[in-house]
Amino acid sequence: MIKWDLPYKFKSSDGEIVFNIIGNGQPIVFVHGTPSWSYLWRNVIKKLKTNWTIYVYDLLGYGNSERNESQDVSIKNQAKILNQLLQYWNLEKDKVHIVGHDIGGAIVLSTNLIEKYIFNKIILIDAVIITPWITSTTVHQKKYIECYKTMPTHIYEQIALAHIRTAFYKEPPEDILMNYFNQWRGKDGQSAWYKKVEQFDESITTKMEKMYNKIDAPIQLLWGEYDEWLKSDVANKAKMKFRNAELEFISKAGHFSPEDNPEEISVKINNFLKK
């Protein structure tokens, strides 16, 4: 298995962010979603790093980036931090390609539309784009948040683990599954899980939907054909929101399509960026 480590650190306005820069060529930034971390990209990056310079990081409150009780881990704030990172990396606007998965897609779009950072090409994978996007499981958790926050930790862990399993096309190997779940273990993990749930806010996508037709950058939508969190009809509706978007489905893939089928995703990303 690929060892996954992000060795560099950036002190954002809201906490320390870990990142890595890999490869050689034009820059591509990868933004993961929830409840994953940058580990999601490892096999895609392995296939792309020969031709591209990859910038990858863990969102605030995720993976090995800083996590604390008072953090704002909302999409809006994550976009602000991404804008800070892009400036720290000294990446030239209009020259950067960017890839976002799940809420990472909304973070990318918010960075473009609200933070005013213009990208060359945008790739959105099983992405949070249109409202509604909060899964039925998470809607229930938000409604009864105090119950979930205070339930016995061993019960919470089984709920969280079961939810993560549904993001895959088929049951993943145990070590892979646990690499996604480990950051959410124990009382601290439980607190962090429901902190992010509390801060899920669909008003940001509702606001941005009215702005999508202003995006000039070519957009590629990649979607797991068996995504149970954001199903294929969401992808088709999302495509209609943009002036310059193409949509392709990823075979044998669920919501975690970069995990399920990194080979197909890598080829489609490479072909799109080389057009």
pLDDT at 2 over 80: no
pLDDT of residue 94: 86
Residue 133 CB neighbours (<10 A): 20
Count how many Cα atoms sit within 13 Å of the Cα of residue 132 in the half-sphere of its side chain: 6
Burial class (CB in 10 A: 0-12, 13-18, 19+), 80: buried
Per-residue pLDDT at 110: 98
CATH T-level topology, domain 8-134+201-273:
Rossmann fold (3.40.50)
> Which tens digits make up the pLDDT trace of 161-219?
999 999 999 999 999 999 999 999 999 999 999 999 999 999 999 999 999 999 999 99
Q: What is the mean pLDDT of residues 71-76?
A: 97
Alpha helices in 32-173 (DSSP H): 42-48, 75-88, 103-113, 136-143, 145-150, 153-165
The distance between the two most distant Cα atoms of the chain, rounded to a whole number of Å, is 52
Span 99-119, pLDDT tens digits: 999 999 999 999 999 999 999
Chain-wide mean pLDDT for the chain?
A: 96
Q: Looking at residue 52, what is its pLDDT? A: 97
Question: Does pLDDT of 1 surpass 50?
Answer: no
What are 211's two structure tokens? Answer: 């702005």
